[in-house]
Copies of this chain bind each other. A is one copy, B any other.
């Protein structure tokens, strides 16, 4: 059966770090933001081969003294030019992609992360500020997934990121992380509709969400129509979950 040593730590004690071919570890990012009722993802356009001119997810190497999550935050700041000290952002680990052939040049293992940026639902955060050629730009997610070919296995990663967000929104209030501190019920519903790519009945949505939110007592100044109540949200479980409509 030709067994290897079973205890990884015992193995490590005798491990010569030059003996194994080195594995490069990167942190890639699926960065989402909602504007105009459409879910957008930050993507960079590749300048060199392979996959020249194709769109790719932002990301970069994990440094020797940082965790993958720390690297994700750092890369997010570097590649988008966002001031993370000011802009609230939710980052969570998505999955790790380790297929030996996923990069044709060498062994690269990527820890993908999901990042959610807060917007007012109208304008996307400005990520073109960076002078770098590979600066990130926003692309509509549902459009990109139906047509565009992404570099490497990034179509899979983007799809998994979307599925993760869509699923998590069923049973948590994470959608509120994509809005300002205070938001209206309609803004929150728009986030759901953008991510799920569907429409939801406003009345029933309010009834279901209301117990999960905190009413600030303040009202939004609407340019037209009735003023809407402003809510805040703390990360919370929705129980029973909000059902995502089946079709589409």
Asked if B46 contacts A12 (CB within 8 A), the reply is no
Does A240 reach chain B (CB closer than 8 Å)?
yes
Choose from B48, B68, B93 the contact partner of A13 (Cβ within 8 Å): B48
A9 touches B103 (CB 8 A): yes
User: How far is B242's CA from A240's CA once the two chains are assembled, in angstroms?
Assistant: 9
Partner of A12 from the list B62, B103, B132 (CB cut-off 8 Å) is: B103
Chain B's closest residue to A51 (CB) is B9
A152 to B9, CA, bound (A): 10
Q: Which of B18, B59, B99 contacts A8 (CB 8 A)?
A: B59
CA distance A107 to B24 in the complex (A): 12
A8 to chain B, nearest CB (A): 5
Q: How far is the CA of A107 from the CA of B93 in the complex (A)?
A: 19
Main secondary structure of the interface of A (DSSP, over half): loop
A50 CB contacts on chain B under 8 angstroms: 9
Asked whether any CB of chain B lies closer than 8 Å to the CB of A38, the reply is no
User: With an 8 A cutoff between CB atoms, is A181 at the interface?
Assistant: no
Q: Are the C-beta atoms of A105 and B13 separated by less than 8 Å?
A: yes
Q: Is A21 an interface residue (CB 8 A)?
A: yes
What is the 8 Å Cβ interface bit string for chain A, positions 7-31, against chain B (1 contact, 0 not)? 1111111010110111111101000
A25 & B109 in contact (Cβ 8 Å cutoff): yes
Contact of A56 with B9 in the complex, beta carbons under 8 Å: yes
Question: Complex Cα distance A95/B60, Å?
Answer: 19
> Chain B contacts of A248 at CB under 8 A?
none
Residues of B within 8 A of A21 (CB): 17, 64
Q: Is A47 interfacial (CB 8 A cutoff)? A: yes
The smallest beta-carbon distance between A197 and chain B, in angstroms, is 18
Provide a sorted-by-A list of 9 A–B residue pairs whose CB atoms are within 8 angstroms. Answer: A4-B78, A7-B48, A8-B28, A12-B103, A15-B106, A20-B64, A22-B22, A22-B23, A62-B98
The 6 closest A-B pairs by CB, nearest first: A68-B98, A22-B22, A7-B134, A96-B96, A6-B134, A67-B98
